[in-house]
Structure formats: structure tokens, C-alpha cells
Structure 1
Amino acid sequence: MSGKGSSTFHTDDLKTVCLKLQTSTSTGLTSAVARKRLIVNGKNKMNLPEKPEFRCRKYLRNCFCGLASIIFISIVACFILDHIQQDKLSGLFRYIQENNDFLVAWAFMDLMPMYCTVLRDGRKQIIRSEDVVVGDILMIMYGERIAADVRVFVSHDLEVNNVALTGYSTSVIIIPNISHPNKWISRNVGFACSHVTKGSGRGLVIACGVDSEVGIMARLSMEPRPLTRPRKHMRQVSFYRYTLCAIMCLAFFLSLRMEGPPAPILLDFYVSFTICSSPVYLPTLIFFGLWHTKRQLLKIGCYARNMEAVSTLGLTTVICSNLIGSMTQRAWRVSELLVDGEMLNVQKDFVATNHFFDLIRASILCNHAYVTPGQRGLPKSEHNFDGTDYDKALLKFGSQFVASIEMLRVQFKRLASKSFDAITHLQVSVHSTENVDGETEYHLFIRGHLTEVMDHCSTCYMKADEPKKLIRSVRNSVVKKGSMMDQLGRHTYGFASKVLTADDYMLSLISNGFSYSKKNTYNTFMQTYSYSMCFLGLIAANNPPYPNIISAVDQCRNAGIKLVLLTRADVSFSRAVAKSVGVIGELNETAEDVAKRLRIPITRVERRMITAVTVNMHTMSKQPHHQRWDIEQLLLAHVDVVFNRIAVSQRHLIIDVCLKLGAVVTAIGSSVHDTSAIRCANVGVSESASSNVSQSCADLIVLENNFVTLVKAIAKSRLLFENMKKAVVYALSSNMAHLMIHLFFIVLKMPFRMFLLPSIFIAFFVNLIPALTLFYEPPEIDLMKVKPKVNEDFLINRRMLFVAFITVGLLEACAVGLAFIAYMLFNGFLPGFLLGLSVRWYDDSVNDLVDSYGQEWTRGARLQLEYEITSVTIITLTIMQGVNLVLTKAGRASLLSHGFLNVRLNIAIFYMIGICILFTFLSSPNVLKCLPVDYLPIFLYIFPVAILTIIVESMRRFILRKYGGSWIEEVSYYGCT
């Protein structure tokens, strides 16, 4: 018997369950049955990776793939040429970026206890927790963790804390005879990995391993994750880099068979060209952009555990968020009170009658919250309280109308109390006090759901001083007003009181404080004394949304992001909260709103009338494929959807449906229930006050649990991608010049080549470092008003290549070629004379090469001239890239309107000027293969080309702004709009 049919084991008759599981509450399973069941069902453990990948192997795997493989081939070539310099940082960066998914497995492993005590063959045995099977009788003791999902049938003041599963430290009192179809509400169920905080007991194992609640979460959490955006981008450029490497290798071997320079010179040239043409700096560029954005997110209260998700976040098309907590403050405040049959708004002036003070007194006494110690001397308005959200709201409000909460509670001494019960929906407390005559009085206070409280009442306070009979019309009126509060998203509870007659039987019932070890005491007391109570009124509290939450929701709509809200709350409450946060707008109507407006049954409401929807997942078909189809139709038919009363598997199913529809999903969660959803989504977001498991699964952690922070993070991520495209365009622009050098050297056989180290210098110090400053550029437009382009999500696309290689790249290549020809002309070589000269130029035996004017050049003089040409090339590219850097600041906007507030970019311009000055006078023939430039006016030939570049790019931007949608925009605009 597996645990797969255990959904009703906690509500069925205990004897029937024991018979079905072949066990006994007194003797437990037999060893033979336990061994057989262990073989059939497997061990009580989650299907997690046994051990992580060896770190050294992971590092090597990252260092010898992709771009790193090209660098590795270049390293081998460098050793052949006696050059032992190269950069291997890209693999290290990729290794650092990898999110260690084994942390998730560790988080789940840490939850399970190592050993536990079971009852088998009539005696207690200590076994490993992984050997527990369904049907075992588990001994539950204080201080331990439960090894499997159990149905508790013996409880001695047993309390458990599900903080490891939910993230919220709240003790749950176990009552064996109180059950509910929902395991999380039922009081006779203990979950695997829960902490036992009080008492002891025995439980029947109803689910273990992958069938337990935490096992289901772990199984769903370890499914493969969608590919992150940076990894997609690296795959997109892999074809380019591998193709380029293959072409270079083929060209090298073909060149060996042709007449030309010697093989070592050809090898050095092709290695240099491969390094320059391949975006070897791309991993570093991406890593820096992600790191910079991670720091920016931290400033707004969002910590990025996985840097790759920083980029994916900006592509979000669907946000699956918790309704309560992410969008509301979890800071409950009293908003309305019902006293004397009238509804009072606390934000407005009202008269505080004696009946009002009776209600306030009941709300303070029938309350388990308390003032946090260490606040003596602080004003009442600044006091902090410990307890549940609703209890704290009552105390905060009530403290305004009493002299001291502590003094009131001392005056009314609590004798017995019972916490709020999700089954009976009541909270009860009994107090004693002395009246004006010095006699002891006993007061009973109850609080709970309105209908439950009124069932115990026969009188109520109206305008008169004495209570009046609670007639049906008054009851209906109160229930109607309470229902109206529920529809407004309020937590509403009624209060009632009664002065008890002191007798020995009543005193004996309350003498043990309603101890759960004597479970019949409370039931007997309620049946005997909780009748004919006086209804005091009701208090409604609301959970206000975060400031600017409506603006954030509107931003999501403008940004083309669908909101899918998930909550375990009921339909009416979640609908009201969704309206308060702006998810259901003022002009939108749900099926219930349409039925109410037209005064027709909800079954007659047509789908075309509905503009918003709240879905009760409990009423949805139980078949997964039917649920999947229904969810698909709802997501496609409505802009925003609110799913209520949702189960763990349904949360995962909804996100999976969104992914199958092609959406990029960001999921927000806080508890272990949300772990599978967080892991399934493209970007998983966890709240700061959440369970350790959910934080281990998350890519981002929102430190203030604020949905507004996530929207700001999406804007930052979109800015990252826009600036990253600018940086890539800038860095690729010099490739056309290298291609032109290749054509000069191979096709035209001119003595024009780039050495390896100068090529690396240009790639990193001229292309990479200035490109990093573009990540600090402010946005040109409001990026949250742009729809995400999922189908055009390419880091390098045809428009970027057009700008990098055609409009800017060609001009840079012309500048380099012009500088080369002009400098060679200055040294006596006419352009026509350079054609085919490389064969004799690189021949070491030729020491009398004659130029166009009859001068003879030895091999050493020619090599010195090559070094000077290297300096000229570096300076020319640096000047042109400096101009390009300023132009790349804006994709469409005018540079004057965009501004020059990027201080780092301004510093980069001076940095590039310094490089030009340095190479004008630098002599480094052995390392950088460069010598000082003899003819400085050579650079006057470059400035007209630089001015032409400014004119061409400015005209292109002007056309983009003036004639949107033109063919110029189609072929050259790589921005977001």
C-alpha cells in the first residue's frame, strides 16, 4: 500500500484505515509487512541528487567549451609561436554564474530527521527515517522532527510548528478527533519535517517519501528548469563563433598551399584575426552587466542569488504572484466596527458609547497578542505587538481607548482560554474580576466568525443601556453588514460576552485552562455555559496594499505583463483584495459583479460580459488534463486572472501551462508550498520572510516582500538588456577593420597585419573596458511602456550587425585603411606598389627591398615599419571607437537631449585619449610590437572620417525619430521600440 491513496486517510474511520494498511495502533506493523512494503514502495526519502558534480570537473567543463575552446586553440598556437600569454577568464566567469542547484537538494535533506522511533511487532524500535513505511506507528516526542506525514491518534498536549514548510513560526495544537478534508486545516495531521514544540503522541504514517507533502514539493522542485536568457544568448552566438573558427582553420590550411608569407607568420596572423573577430570578451561583458544590475537591484531591496536571472527578469510576460503578502502589507488595521447596530468608520469621527468600550474590552481580553517587551516610555502609537496579524490590529486600535492594556488584563484575570480554531471558527476566554461590591465575577468572551458567534447569542446591544432580544430581523441585518465587509476584503469577527454564574461545576471545568489533554472539558463547558450570550458587535480589519501598488500594476499592464494571482483564500475575499490593489480595475466586472448588476443568476451570465475573473480551484475538475485545458482557456481569454483556494500541484500546473503557451514566467512565493512553482518558472522570486527551502530555490529574494520592488527590478533588467546591446554593438564595430586588414593581407597580399598581443590589447582595452561604461547609461524612454519581444530576443541580431559592420564598421575600416596607406606613402610605398608585396616583404633573405622611390629596405627596417604601423592602427581604431562610444550612448534619441550625465563614460573618453597619446610615443617592440609614430600629421586624415561617422549616425537617428517604421528603422534600429 503506497501513500498515493492517502488523501482521505486522515478523515476516514481509524479502524478502517488500520485494517486497510494492515497495521494496529497497539502493536504497529509486523516486520515482514514493513520489509515487503519497503521493497515495493521504496525508501522514505525524496528523489534528490545523491551528490553534486565535482567542482573541479565543473570548472574544467566551463573553461573548455564555447568561446573558451577557441581561446584554448589559440593558446596551443601561441605555444607553437613561443608566445605564452592568453586570457582564460570567460570560463571562470561562467563557472561563477552557475547556480548551484544542489543547494536546493541540501535544503530538503536538512529538513528530514536522521532517525525516528516506530512501533513494530508490539515493541518500540529506533530505525533510520528512510526505512519508515506507510502504516507504521510513529512515536512523536518533544524536540524531534516528524519523519513522515502522520495521522495523530494519541496526543498529550502535542503541538507542532510548520515553520520549515511555511516560513511562518506558528504552533499548531494537535487534536486527534478534529479532522478536515484539507490536511493543512485538519488538526489531527502532522507533516513530515515539522518540529514538535510541545508534548508527545503517536501517529499512523499515511504518506512518506515522494508521496508526503514535502516529498511532492521536492519532486516538483527538482524538475529541469527553463533555459536562462544569458545561456540562450550564448547559444545564439555559438554558431557564429564556431563557424568563424572553422573558416579560419580552413583558410589557414588553404593559404599554406598558396604562394605567400611563411607558415609561422600565417599562423600568427590567423590566430590574431580569430581572437579579434570572435567576441571573446562577450562572457566578461555579460558578467559585468549582470553584476552591475545585481548591485542596482540590491539598492532597491532585491537580492539576486542567480545573476543569470537578472537578465531573464526583463523579458517577463507573466507574473504569478501571491495575492496576500506580495501586494498587501500584512499590517492589519481596524477599519470598521459595528456597535449598537450601526457601522462606524474609524477614519471618521464617531461617538464612543459604553457599548463601544465593552466591545473594545472584549477585543483586548479575548486576544493572545501582547505588547513587545522593552518599550517603556514610548508613546502608545509607536508600540509594537507580538501575535497574529488580527490580534495585533485589535490591540493597536484598543490601546487608544484604555489607560493600559496590562492593567486591564490584570483587572480581568484570565482563567481559561482556547485559541482560535479553524474548525469551529471560535476563540474563547474566561476571566475573573471584582465588581464594585468586592465580589468576584466571571466573564465569558467569545470571538469568531459572525454566524458562529451569533448562534451562541440571544440578546444584543442597541441604543438602549440594557440588552435587547436578538430578533431575526436584527440578526439578518448584522449578517448582511458582515457579509458586506467580507466582500470589501475585510477580516471580520464578531464578539459576545456573558457574566457566568459561579458554581463548583463551572469552576472545575475552567480549573485546568481547557487543557487539551482533557479534550472533553472544553466541549462540555461550551455546551453548558455558552448559550444566551450578549452580542457586542463586530470588528473589521483590512490588510492595506503597499503604497504605489496600483501604479505598479498599471506599469505591468503597460509593459505587456499578465498578472496571474494565486491564493488559498476564498473567492469573495480574494476578489475584494484584487480590486483594492488594482488587478481588477474599476471598469472590470467579474461574473458575480455582472450577476449582481443585472440581478440575474450567475449561471445566466455570458462569458462575453465578463472582463475579469476569479476562479475557485476547488470547483475545477479533478482530472489534471481537464484542469490544464480550463486553465489555458482562462489565461487566453482574460488579461489578468485570480486563482483562489489553490493547491500545491495546481500552483505548479498553472505555471507549467503558462510556459507551454510560450510565456516567460516570474513566480513569487514564500513557503515550501511555493517551492515547485518557484523552481518551475523562468525566474523564481522568494520573499525575505520565507522558508529556507523556498529561498534556496529562488533566483531573487525581495527583501521587503513588496510587489512594487519586483516591478522596479523588471525595469532595471530591461535597462540592462538595452545597455548590453549598445555595449555589444560598440565592441563589434572594430571587427570590420580587422576584416579589412585580413583582405589586405590575404587577398591583396599587402604587408599589413595585426600581431597577437596588439589584437588582444584592442579587444580588451579598447573594446571591452569602454563598453562597460555603457551599462551606466540611463534609459532613453520609459522601458515599462514597451511590450516584451520574446520572439526577437537575440543579443546579436541583423540590425545590430548592420550598424556594427556597415554604418559604423565600414567607416572605421576606411579610417584604418586610409591611415595605413597614408603612412606607407609617407615612407615611400605608393598604393599600387603595395599590391602583392607581402611575398617579398616577409622573406627574411631579402635585405634590399626597393620602395617606390628607390630606397632599399632591410628585413629589420621593414619589421620596424610594421611596428610603427601597429601603433598607427591602434591609435586610429581608438580614435574611431572613441567617437563610436559617444554615438552609441543613444539608440534613437538625440545626444543633446539624452545628455552626458554618465560620468564613467566621460572618463572613458579621456582614457581613450590617453591610449592614443601613449602609443604615439610608446616603444615596445618585444611585447606589444609597437614603436613611436614618426609622422604625426597622419592622424589628420582620420578626423574627416570621424566627422563623417558623426554625420551618418546623426542622420540615421534623425530619420528614426522623424520617420518611425521606415526601412531605416527596419534594418538598423536595435532598440526596444
Structure 2
Amino acid sequence: MEENTTIESQMQGLSSNEAKQRLLQDGPNVLKKHQTKSVWKMFLDQFKDFMIILLLIAAVISFIVAIYNYFANGRITTANTIVDFVQPFIILIVVVLNSLLGTYQEIKSNQAVTALEKSNELNAKVIRDNQIMIIPSHEVVVGDLLVVEAGDAICADAKIIDSYTFSVVESALTGESQAVYKQALDNSNHHKLALGDRVNMIYSGTYVVSGKAYAVVTATGDKTELGKINSLVNEQEATLSPLQIKLNKLSKIFGISGVVLLFVSMILQIVLTNAFSGIWNKPEVYTNAMVIGISLAVAAIPEGLITFTTVLLAIGVSRMTKENVIIKAFSTVETFGSTNIICSDKTGTLTQNKMSVVEFYDVLKPQSDLENSMALGAFVACCDADVTVNEKNEYIEVGDATETGILRFGIENNNTSQMFFDKYQKLDSLPFDSTRKAMSILVKLNDKEQLIITKGAPDVILAKSINASEHEYQMVEKWSKQAYRVLAVAYKKVSNHSTISIEDENNLTCLGLIALMDPPRENVKQSILEAKQAGVKTIMITGDHLTTAVAIAKNLGIYNVKDVALTGSELATMSDEELREKVKHISVYARVTPTDKLRIVKAWQYHNQVVAMTGDGVNDAPALKAADLGCAMGITGTDVSKQAADVILTDDNFNTIVKGIKSGRETFDRIKSVILNLLVSSVVEIFVMMIGLFLFRFIFKDQISTSEFIILSAAQLLWINLLTHGLPAIALGMTPNDEDVMKRKPFNKYDSIFANGMGKKLMIHSLILTFFSLLSYLIVGLIAKANLIIGEDFVKLTSTACFITLGIGSSINALNLMSKNNIYRCGVTKYKLVYLASLSSFVLILFAAFIPGINTAFGMYDVLNNQYLAVYALVPIVLGFGLLIIEEFKKGIIAYKEIKASFE
């Protein structure tokens, strides 16, 4: 703690050896971060998913059955034995593939964040061995003598021992954007004062805007004020994203269904086998029942769901990285899409964090050109900041934002501080004082006369000016109402002065007024409007004054007539219940504290809103962690805020958030299409297996050997679920959306994934494809029955027919989901990936069904060697297109009605 720290170093600083010892003793000057997981731990964490656990159990049971059958058959390797062992291996491949993808993306995200942190690491100027040296900030130790000046970021807490016109912006800690004057004071009780009142202390996370100071380091790392807030951040619990909620629920539903179906089907299979043959004592009855049960469980579990969702999220992460957004977790992409509240900081996010002159008035010569304006020359002369123009004609700015804005204005009008001081020599200065709200300089006019030039708050300067009129006061009032920052400058001739005092700042002559503002970022107003049209409300939370915040909020379209604006002090008088009740009507918060920001976020979350919080300062970090979507700034953001956030905006731009919302919605739409594509197959497979288990056992009881009867094997189902859906899933995920997703409201975080018509579409598609799959089995079965095919050949032949129809229908279902338009209206160029993927999947189905050896491994009939090839092959293939034909007919009717309605 700073009060217990003994100041051992003087102006000569520590010795290098002493600094090394203290570094070993206290550790590096860094904030404690969350422990990084090892790659192996990341990989193992992927197996915690409920659905993955069930698949592993299914694989183990499949291995047990395969091993039993192998030994029961006298250790003879047959085609059936190979099929038995193929099934569990396919399940394991799916599980491992999903885990590797999840681990890879987590590693890539961590690497991106680490790279960003390294690129933002600071250097520090210290005096050691009586010499100034530059060292990495993490090597700074307690007792080091820091040398800080305008433009420097402060990397440790320190006590000032000497300073010159020194001021610091502490907005990262206090939220106050105005510079605070600091000076060396011998005050042993400074730690008892409020943070903002400790004028003899500087703090890690803040930066210098003017002057120079020497300060002895009193605290580093987690012992700084920054570190205290960091511990507050770590206390906040992370919330589950909407996607995690939906997928967890979906996984449990289908996982539990798989377990239920496993046991129900086993019991029914054993009971039905006994009913038809009275066989109870044959092991084959139980092993076959278990195989059917596993097949049903595999059918119920859409094992491709997590894998392909992960792939689509990875694609979304990649796209958003190109849009200046670093995503830490996959699920954050979808959270963007469900966001309906944005709590945004003003400075640097909504605005450019770059003060610019918008109004200028020369009191003495209103009509004079700016190049020769004495008023403008006086303004630039009173600035301690520095602005230069490099070879690329870019401004290099160091110092207070208000002063750099004035200096830029001077350069643009060929009236610079350098030109002023080429004429007048600077003799002395009085730094800015928040009490008197002014600063002054003394310059040499000639051998006998000097000029005192005073710059400061307009009410103070005008009150001390002998020529101030009502006109100047009215102008100040007008500009202030427009949220401009207004300054005035005045002068007085004196003689025989070599120094200046506060008593000299009177009987002035006002020279001019200047108004500045931090302009909104380009297109930010349009982005706020776009967000509003998309059902997303923007809230401004800032440390600035209420009048300024409201004026800017009005200009940007955030604050409307019926809205409420609150200050932090007003908010402090409200209970949590009152805030929850009124939060929907408040659009601007000014002069707030870190605790206020947390309360605001949680008040919105109480109403089940998905809240995004933007921020760059340390004071933003707790709210960033608590929000559903924490967005830290990559350029101006502190390490604490970046660690707490879910995403990092590398361009610090509000527009990027709105782009992220759009990208998140588009990604979620694609994910829903892929999920629908996968679940249709799973639901159809369950229907086909359950209905077929009862229906065809009765219809074909004379053709089926009850101990070998099965509709579709687990290997066949996995081939359909994974291989034939892999390419279509990725293709759907990379296809542009048809509709403008920003013209609809965000989906509810707590809505079922089957909401908004998805459940209805799932059942319709599933019932249609189930009908055609069962019809294919029935037709081929009746033909085979007429041709006296029985036993294992009959089971394999009908299973092959069902596999072809279901496989083709599932493979080309992506064509139904890629657009709301008919296929003939979907251009090949735009949808080429879906066309190619569906064609590839179609070929894979035929490959498995008709290639000798491959079809045997999958337990299917070699149709090509049968005289009824045309019937056994063409009927299943034609029926496989049934769902696509019906959907195309339906889309055509809808399009016709829309065209007809447009002419009415």
C-alpha cells in the first residue's frame, strides 16, 4: 500500500542492482490475469458437452457389441464384423473432430488477444544510476523515479516530488475526461482523500496531457488502484450466451431422447422377437436389439450439430476479424445478433476523441482574417500541447485534446504558436488552476513592455475584461447550449515584469472566443439509426457533464423528447427497484461511477434484454464483464478492460458494433438453416426407425429373420448425418443471406431455437421425407417379396432402398433452405457452393449404395448385380427428390401470390 511505502530513492533514482532485487522480490509490474489453460485442458473441456458424452457412451456400447459378436462368431473376420467395428470408430471420429475444431479456435483467439496485448505494452522513462533510461513498463519497481511528460502513459502509482505545469487525465479511473492539475505536496494523509482529490499522486492507467513531473513509484501491478479494480472485475460471473443456452437445451432434449429410444427400442425389439418366434435364449436377439437401440440413439443425436455449428461460428469469427473485431469465444458471434441494448461510452466510441474548433470570434476585429488574428495567435500561444505535421501530411498530436484542437486550427489558418513566439519571447507562465479556471503567460513585447495573455473559462475571462459586452455573453450561452467547449482569451500590457502572479490576471482586454467539440465519428449517426430500425436501443453512458452529453445524444439521435437523462448523483438516490422500473426511459447517463455502470447493465438484464457494453477505461471493466457482450477498445482500451471484455474493437468504432450485430444475425440465420438441415434427418431417422420397426415387421413377417431385422444401421445413419451433411452445412454457412437482417427485431435470448416458424418447418420437412423414405422401403419390399427374396438379402435390399431415398432427400435439402426463392431464381454464382455441396453429397450417397465392397461394408445389398436394377435403384432415387419437388411447388405458389398482390 502506498501509505506504507518508504521513499528510498531521491532525484538520482535507484541503482540498477537495487532495481533488479526489487523486481525479483515484488514481481513484474503487470496485472494478474486469468490463468491460461493448457492445450490439453482446452481439448478435454470440449468433452464436457452432454451430447458428446452420450456419443462416447454409444461408441463404448458399440465396441462391446462388436467385440462380443467377433468372439461369438469364432473370431472369424467377416463383412459383418468389419461393419460392427466401423460404427463406433465413426462415432469417435466425429467426437474428436469436433473437439479439435473447438480447441483450435480457442487457441487462435487467445493468440490474437495476446498479440494485441503485446503490441500495446508501454515503455517507461526512469532515472537509475543518476541517468534517464527507457525500460519496458513491466520492469518498473517500487522506489523507481519516473519521468513523465505530455503524451506519456503512466504505468504505476507514484508520488510527485517535482513538477512543472503538470496535468493528467484520469478518466480511466474516475470517468472524468477533463485534465486534472497535479503538483508536489507534502501530504502524508493523501491516501484518506478521494482518488480525484489526491493532487500529489499519479496512477497507473492514466496519461499526461501537459507539463512534466518526477514521481517516486509507490505501487506496481495488482497493488495499484488499477489492480484493485481488476480484482472487482474478477468477481463478476460470466453469463451464458443465447447460443449456449439454446444448444445446451437442444443437446439435452435430443440426448435424453436418444437414451429413452435406446432402452425403449431394445425392450420392444426383444418383446416383438419373442412374440413372433418365441426365442428368448439366443444371444443374437439381445445383441441385435442393442444394435437397433444404438442406431436409434445415433439417429436421435444430431452428432454433426456441434461440429458444424463450430465451423460456422469459426467462419463468422474470421469474417468479423476482418471487420476489426477480435472475438474471444465462438458463442459471442451469435450474442452480437441477439443484442438489443447498446450501452456506449461517448468519448472515442461515438465521437472521435479529437476536439475540433467549430466556432471562432475575434472580439476586437470581428472581420479580420484568421491568419492575422491576434486573438487566434493568443489562443495558440497559451497551449502547452504540441502538434506537428509529418511527411505524409498527417498531424502528430501530443497533449490535451482541447489544446491540440486549437493548435490544429492555428496550423490550418497559418497562425501557429511557433510564429507567435518568433515575434514575442516567452518570459514566464502560470499553469491552469481548476479553482481560478485560467492559465496565463508573460511575453516580451519590446524592451519596456510585456504582455500578459490569459486563457480560460469564458465566464471568468469576461468577468475580468474591461471591454466585455452583452454580445459576448450571449454568444457564450448560445455555444454552451450546443454542447461546445467554450474558451476565452484576453491580454493586458504591463511594464517591468519578469514574472507573473495571479494578482496580474485582472483589468484584461478580451481578445476572442473559441468553441470546440469532439465531433461524432463518421457514419455513427447512420449506424445508430440502423440499429434503432433493427430494434436495438443505444444508451449513452459518459463521465462528461449532463448538458454536453444530452446535446450530443440529441444530435446523434440517441436522446428524444420523451427520454430521460440522469446524472450519477441522481442515480445514486435511486434504489435498484426504482432503476429497473425507469431504466427503459433513460437514454443518457452522465458523470457516472463504475458501480453505476454495473447497476445500469443489470437493470436492463432484469428485463431479459441482451446488453452490449462498450468501454475503454479501467472503470468500464466490471460492467464489461457483467454485460452479455463486453466490447473493449483496442486502441485506447486498458489491459483490464480488454481482459474483461468478450470482444475487442481494434478500431474503437461504434459503427463496428452495428456491423457486428448484422454479422451476428446473419451467422445465426445460417446456423438455424444448418441446424434445420441436420435435425430434419435426425427426426426422419427416428420416425423411419420406430414406424418401420412395427409396421414392416408385420407386413413382411414372412420375409424377415427376426433376429437380423433392422431398418437402417448406425453406420448408414452416421454416413447420412455426417458425411452427406458436412459439405451442405459449410456451404449454407458461407452463402450470403437473402434478406436484410437489420430490418427486423432481434430474436429473444430465451426463445426456443424452434421459434419463429422453425419448429413448424422442421415437422413438415420431416413428415414429407419420412413418408417418401417409408414408401421407398415398402415399394422395394413388395417387389422383393414378389420375387421371393427373403432373410438377410431382403433386409439388406429394403434397407438399401430406404438409405438411398433418405440420403438423397437429406443431401439436397440444403437447396430448400438456401433461399426463399425457387431454384431457377437462385443464380449459380451466388449459390454455387450449395449447388456443389448438394451434388457432392448426392454422389456420396450413390457411392455408398452402389460401389461394390463399400456397400457391403455398410451392410447394403449389391443392387447393380440384380436383374431388377431399374426398379430397385430408380424408385428410391426418384422418391429421394420428393421433398425438393414439393418445396419448389410451395415456393412457386407463394411467389405467384406475392406478384398477384403487387398488381392489386
Classify the TM-score, shorter chain.
0.7 to 0.9
Choose the corresponding residue for 1:451, options 452, 459, 466: 459
Q: Does the Cα contact within 8 Å between 2:571 and 2:596 map onto a contact in 1?
A: no
- Are the counterparts in 1 of residues 389 and 395 from structure 2 also a CA contact under 8 Å? no
Check whether the contact 1:149–1:212 (CA below 8 A) recurs between aligned residues: yes
The alpha-carbon distance between structure 1 residues 584 and 799, as it changes in their structure 2 partners (threshold 3 A), is closer
Find the counterpart in structure 2 of residue 658 from structure 1.
604
Amino acid at match of 2:248: R
* Corresponding residue for residue 617 of structure 1: 568
Q: CA RMSD in A?
A: 4.6
User: Which of 671, 674, 681 is the aligned partner of 2:617?
Assistant: 671
Question: Would you say 1:800 and 2:758 are equivalent positions?
Answer: yes
What does 1:372-383 align with in structure 2 at a 5 Å threshold? 372=388, 374-375=390-391, 378=393, 383=395
| Structure 2 partner of 1:265 | 288
Distance between the aligned counterparts of 1:612 and 1:304, measured in 2? Answer: 33
Give the whole-Å Cα distance in 1 for the aligned partners of 2:193 and 2:556: 31
Partner residue in 1 for 2:874: 937
* Superposed displacement of residue 392, structure 1: 2.7
Check the 8 A contact 1:112/1:193 in 2, yes or no.
Answer: no
1:560-599 alpha-carbon deviations (Å, 9 max, x no partner)? 22222111111111111111111124xx2xxxxxxxxxxx
Cα deviation for residue 294 of structure 1 reads: 2.0
1:715 to 1:660, Cα distance in 2 relative to 1, 3 A:
same
Taking the aligned partners of 1:646 and 1:826, their CA distance within structure 2 comes to 79
* CA shift for structure 1 position 149: 6.9
User: Aligned to 2:775, which of 818, 843, 848?
Assistant: 818
CA contact (8 A) 1:634 1:641 kept: no
- Does the 8 A contact of 1:444 with 1:497 survive in 2? yes
> Is residue 225 of structure 1 aligned with residue 229 of structure 2?
no
**Out of 387, 392, 411, which is 2:423 matched to?**
411
Contact 1:321 1:667 (8 Å CA) reproduced: yes
Q: Aligned residue for 1:542?
A: 517
C-alpha separation between the residues in 1 aligned to 2:767 and 2:336?
A: 35
Equivalent positions of 1:156-235 (< 5 A) are: 165=172, 174-176=182-184, 183-184=195-196, 186-191=198-203, 200=214, 212=225, 214-235=227-248
- Deviation of 1:866 (Å): 5.3
Selected match of 1:696 from 635, 643, 652:
643
How far apart are residue 485 of structure 1 and its match? Answer: 0.8
Evaluate the alpha carbon distance shift between residue 733 and residue 51 of structure 1 in structure 2; reply closer, same or farther with a 3 A threshold. Answer: closer
Partner of 1:634: 582
- Find 2:308's aligned residue among 285, 308, 313: 285
Matches within 5 A, 1:504-515: 506-507=497-498, 509=499
Of 55, 77, 83 in structure 1, the residue corresponding to residue 61 of structure 2 is 77
Aligned mates of 1:856, 1:227 — CA distance in 2 = 56
Counterpart-to-counterpart distance in 1, 2:33 and 2:527: 39
Question: 1:49-198 residue pairs with structure 2 within 5 A?
Answer: 51=35, 56-57=40-41, 59-80=43-64, 81=66, 82-83=85-86, 84-86=89-91, 87-88=94-95, 89-95=97-103, 141-142=145-146, 155=162, 165=172, 174-176=182-184, 183-184=195-196, 186-191=198-203
TM-score normalised by length of structure 1: 0.72
The answer on whether the counterparts of 2:713 and 2:859 sit within 8 Å (CA) in structure 1 is yes
Tell me: CA distance 1:768–1:374, structure 2 relative to 1, closer, same or farther (3 Å). same
1:320 touches 1:666 (CA, 8 Å); kept in 2?
yes
Instruction: Mark the CA change 1:655 to 1:856 in structure 2 (over 3 Å): closer, same or farther.
Output: closer
Specify the code of the residue in structure 1 equivalent to 2:347: I
Q: Tell me which moved more, 423-432 or 946-955.
A: 946-955
Query: Cα–Cα, structure 1 residues 960 and 812, in superposed 2: closer, same or farther, change >3 Å?
Result: farther
1:763 correspondence with 2:718: no
Partner amino acid, structure 2, of 1:481: M
CA contact (8 A) 1:68 1:91 kept: no
Q: Contact 2:241–2:332 (CA<8 Å) still a contact in 1?
A: yes
Change (3 A) 1:354 1:612: closer
Task: State the secondary structure of the residue aligned to 2:146.
Answer: coil
Are the structure 2 counterparts of residues 621 and 884 from structure 1 closer, same or farther at C-alpha, using a change threshold of 3 Å?
closer
Quote how far apart the aligned CAs of 1:321 are.
0.5
- Of residues 674, 679, 689 in structure 2, which corresponds to 1:742? 689
Post-superposition offset of 1:60: 2.5
**Structure with more of its chain in helix, by fraction:** 2
SS of 2:271's equivalent?
Answer: coil
CA distance in 2, matches of 1:734, 1:298: 33
**Equivalent residue runs for 1:775-794 within 5 Å:** 775-790=733-748, 793-794=751-752
Output the CA distance in 2 between the equivalents of 1:158 and 1:242.
Answer: 69
Q: For 1:543-582, what aligned pairs fall within 5 Å after superposition? A: 543-582=518-557
1:575-631 superposed Cα distances (whole Å, 9 cap, x missing partner): 11111111124xx2xxxxxxxxxxxxxxxxxxxxxx122212224445xxx342443
Letter in 1 for 2:320: L
Answering whether residue 487 of structure 2 is matched by residue 479 of structure 1, we say: no
Q: Tell me if the contact between 2:370 and 2:376 (Cα under 8 Å) persists in the aligned partners.
A: no
- Residues 615 and 621 in structure 2, CA contact (< 8 A), matched pair in contact too: yes
2:887 pairs with 1:950:
yes
Superposition deviation, residue 69 in structure 1: 0.8
Contact 1:237 1:796 in 2 (8 A): no
CA distances 1:889-943 after superposition (whole Å, capped 9, x unpaired): 245x666777662231122233234335534642214544444543343346416
Q: Which amino acid aligns with 1:641?
A: S
CA displacement at 1:792 relative to structure 2: 5.2
Which stretch of structure 1 is more off in the superposition, 95-104 or 949-958? 95-104
**1:654-683 CA distance string (max 9 Å, x none):** 112211232211000011111111111000
1:281 counterpart letter in structure 2: G
Residue 675 of structure 2: aligned partner: 728
- Where do 5+ consecutive residues of structure 1 fail to align? 4-20, 27-44, 117-128, 133-137, 345-350, 461-469, 510-524, 589-610, 830-851, 965-977
Q: 1:812 to 1:561 in 2, by over 3 A?
A: same
Q: Give, in angstroms, the shift of residue 455 of structure 1.
A: 4.1
Q: Aligned partners of 1:246, 1:963: CA distance in 2, in Å?
A: 50
Q: Distance in 1 between matches of 2:765 and 2:505?
A: 86
In structure 2, distance between residues paired with 1:53 and 1:712: 31
In structure 2, relative to structure 1, the CA distance for the partners of 1:446 and 1:896 (3 Å cut) is farther
Letter in 1 for 2:386: Y
Q: State yes or no: 1:392 paired with 2:339.
A: no
Q: Distance in 1 between matches of 2:884 and 2:56?
A: 40
State the distance in 1 between where 2:375 and 2:439 align. 15
Cα distance 1:480–1:296, how it changes in 2: closer, same or farther (>3 A)?
A: same
Aligned to 1:718: 665
Partner of 1:488: 482
